[in-house]
Amino acid sequence: MKAPSFDYARPATLDQAFSLLEQYGDGARIIAGGQTLLATLNMRLSEPQILVDLNGIRGLSGISLQEGHLRIGAMTRHSEIEDSFLVAQHMPLLAMTAPHVAHKAIRNKGTLGGSIAFADPAAEWPCCAVALDAVIVLASRRGLRRVQAADFFQELYTTDMAPDEIIVACEFPLQAPGSRCAFDELARRHGDYAIVGLAAVAQVAGNVLSGLRLVFLGTGNIPLRARAAEAVLEGRELTADLIAAARKALANELAPAADLYNSAEMKQHLAQVLMNRLLKALAA
């Protein structure tokens, strides 16, 4: 299929972009990297009156170390995150996750902000944002608004972003000394959407994990934090029996839905496999 007819605008400033959003309302769609939007256009799942292209607006990309956090502009490409020395040094979870995002050609075009805004439940960046307690920075004519990632993702493809707002950056708090992280996902083929994925962050002292955050992708409509499993593991020596208890807790709190290729039971099993794998990686 071919995309429907639509108008196209490439504003040079945020104010111009806000004007277009006000003028067209629900008929406007923002395009950043086009990783998802172009596919939905070609399948006619989206039929906007106008595409508002953010690529002409300066200042929406880039990675910088600021007081207390690493700031990544919304228009920063996935590949820039993958290759960044600052990310590797200060936010290694993002560095180890980036190669799992689609294929290299897509990572060269897709953007962090686009992924966060679309809020696909199988996407990696929303999962990492919750695991790292990131802050989503939104702009509108009313000014800037900051929302915790845990509050930003509300339902399937639904976020706390208002129709007149644009994501301009994500701020990732710097991790305390002794913090470790791990990411892994299982997919039918590399570059496919993940069946299940897990981002894990914890303070590690010997064989004890504290401040643990286990956030799954692909197991629900939004990134899901496994709080019951975390509670079992918190501050206790990591043993085979403790991991078994955490797996039992995880089975009781995750309720993944089946998809075209995988049953709910299979997803539940894979989630437990990933948790077992990443807990051992954190404590290694």
Residue 166 sits in a domain whose CATH number is 3.30.465.10
Residues 70 and 165 in one domain: yes
> What pTM does this model have?
0.96
Residue 13 sits in a domain whose CATH number is 3.30.43.10
Residue linked to tokens 């993940």: 194
Residues 147 and 221 in one domain: no
Task: With CA atoms as reference, report the closest residue to 216 among 204, 224, 208.
Answer: 224
Above pLDDT 90, what percent of the chain? 89
User: Do the domain assignments include residue 58?
Assistant: no
pLDDT at 50 over 80: yes
Q: CA-CA distance, 95 to 101, in Å (whole number)?
A: 11
Do residues 163 and 21 lie in contact, with contact meaning Cβ atoms separated by under 8 Å?
A: yes
pLDDT at 277 over 90: yes
- Domain that includes residue 249, residue range: 179-283
Section 101-112 average pLDDT:
95
Which pair of structure tokens corresponds to residue 135? 């802050």
Residue 131: the pLDDT is: 98
Least confident range of 34-48, 63-77, 86-100, 262-276: 34-48
Q: CA-CA distance, 218 to 270, in Å (whole number)?
A: 11
Residues 211 and 157 in one domain: no
Residues 83 and 12 in one domain: no
